[in-house]
Amino acid sequence: MPSASGTIVYAALRTIVAVAVVFAAWHGGRSAWPIIGQAVSDTSCLAFLLAYVDSDLRSSLGWLPLPLLLYVIGWEGWGALRAIDTESDTAADGVGADLLGWLGGLWRWLYRILLVVPPAGAGAFLVFALLYPGAWIFPGMPAPLRCTPETVARGDTLTLRLTGPHGGELGVLTPAGAFLYIVDYAPKTALPADRFEYRNRFSLATDGATGRVLQGAPPGYPAVPIFADTGAYVFRVSEAAEVSASLACRVRFTGERAGP
């Protein structure tokens, strides 16, 4: 995936620069604590970038990005304030003048804009995803709603796979332009097993699945077959009383399966 590959390349280049910075500061006779503090900040930034594109690392980190992000903001912010007030050349300021002196007095700001803001932004999205699960789609993350297979015939079973929090109502727009309600939003008093928002998988048989043209239809209301016409079907998952669907996926129905 291009975005994930670009992030990994950027993380590698940033790590090289960070190692060079710490190495230059260490051999420049600077005290150990600022160097250690900068190393922790750089390691946190690397973790943010890799976790942004790696779902396994995101899961293993848990809530750790939150304190790490606060540390990076505090450390780099303190360094930025020092850069304004003084001409200090410590590791907390970023890089030494002997390493990037050709950039003149702007090197400290360029360092933070190019090498601190992007990973800190990635860390902020990690924290945002922890606070609001499913609200942000990371590179390589499966679509929140997937219809598999994408092409079905009579007798096949269509499976809807849902990732993360989602609404409690399922419907479909047929090729004829009619909208059918398959699962209505359940009341809060319903058992979790009866509430669609807790499902992560839902199957429909193309030769028997039905829907209703009336939302919240009473018991006994006539149902109609869903797969009555060939063409594209758009399945939608919505919140209660939502005008537009929050999630959607498309399936093509080819009708009767061709003989051998």
For residues 108 and 159, membership in a common domain is answered with: no
For residues 113 and 77, membership in a common domain is answered with: yes
The boundaries of the domain holding residue 197 are 145-253
- Report pLDDT for 11: 66
**Has residue 149 been placed in a domain?**
yes
**Has residue 16 been placed in a domain?**
yes
Q: Which is it for strands 201-205 and 145-148: parallel, antiparallel or unpaired? A: unpaired
Among 131, 157, 190, give the residue marking a domain's end.
Answer: 131
* CA–CA distance, 245 with 180 (Å, rounded to integer): 13
Owner of token pair 């030494």: 96
Between helix 32-53 and helix 2-27 the angle, nearest 10°, is 170
**What's the one-letter identity of residue 21?**
V
Among 131, 155, 171, give the residue marking a domain's end.
Answer: 131
**Has residue 96 been placed in a domain?**
yes
Q: Tell me the pLDDT of the chain (260 aa) as tens digits.
A: 445 556 666 667 667 766 766 666 666 556 667 777 778 888 888 889 888 888 778 888 889 999 999 999 998 888 777 766 655 444 444 444 444 444 445 666 777 788 888 999 999 999 988 887 666 777 766 667 889 999 999 999 999 988 777 788 899 999 999 999 999 888 878 787 778 888 888 999 999 999 999 888 888 889 999 999 999 999 998 875 444 456 889 999 998 876 55
**What's the one-letter identity of residue 20?**
A
Owner of token pair 């946190």: 44
**Has residue 260 been placed in a domain?**
no
- Report pLDDT for 141: 66
Residue closest to 204 by CA, chosen among 248, 235, 163: 235
Among 131, 159, 178, give the residue marking a domain's end.
Answer: 131
For residues 110 and 7, membership in a common domain is answered with: yes
User: What are the C-alpha distances in Å from 147 to residues 8, 133, 179, 236, 238?
Assistant: 30, 21, 17, 11, 16
Cβ atoms of 180 and 244 closer than 8 Å: no
**Has residue 258 been placed in a domain?**
no
For residues 243 and 196, membership in a common domain is answered with: yes
pTM beyond cutoff 0.75: no
For residues 40 and 67, membership in a common domain is answered with: yes
Which residues have a Cβ under 8 Å from the Cβ of 40 and sit 6 or more positions away?
Answer: 71, 75
Domain count, the chain: 2
For residues 249 and 174, membership in a common domain is answered with: yes
- Report pLDDT for 158: 94
For residues 164 and 222, membership in a common domain is answered with: yes
**Has residue 210 been placed in a domain?**
yes
- Report pLDDT for 243: 45
Concatenated DSSP letters of 58-126:
HHHHTTTHHHHHHHHHHHHHHHHHHHHH----SGGGSS-HHHHGGGGGGHHHHHHHHHTHHHHHHHHHH
**Has residue 187 been placed in a domain?**
yes
